[in-house]
Amino acid sequence: MEKTLKNYLLSLSILLICSGTAFADGNAFTPLNFDDSSYSAAPIRTSAASTNRSVSAPTTSNTAEEPAGNAKMQNAIIQLDNAQIDVRNELLNYKSKYADIDAQYNAVKAERKALDKQVKSLEKRIKKIDQQKENIRKNML
């Protein structure tokens, strides 16, 4: 019981140490097209006086890059979809070939089993005939 408890505590401490490093980053996902310069922070109010700050819109160069980046991403997704379709078609071809070969294998296996039964039954008949011949020879003497 003590050994189990020690193992449990050791595992828990290792888990806590590793989880601290795993969660230290905060958010591990960062989008590929994320650009810090095109976004500005919300205005911060330090006093009661109202100060109006306008949030600057992204520049035209950034908007020109985004559709091109989106088009590239969409093309990449389409290419991956096409590759996936090709692989699925190839998988279907292999599955159909496998099914054909499996059917042939099962047919040959069944035929082999039937022939084995026939061979055994004929061997038994030959054995019986040999025994009958030996009995007749013994009776003749």
- Alpha-carbon radius of gyration of the chain: 40
Residues 6+ positions from 32 with CB-CB distance below 8 Å: 69, 73
Instruction: Output the tens digit of pLDDT for each of the chain's 141 residues.
Output: 888 888 888 888 888 787 766 666 555 555 555 555 555 555 555 554 444 444 454 454 444 455 667 888 999 999 999 999 999 999 999 999 999 999 999 999 999 999 999 999 999 999 999 999 999 999 887
Integer angstrom CA distances of residue 8 from 22, 31, 74, 98: 21, 39, 49, 48
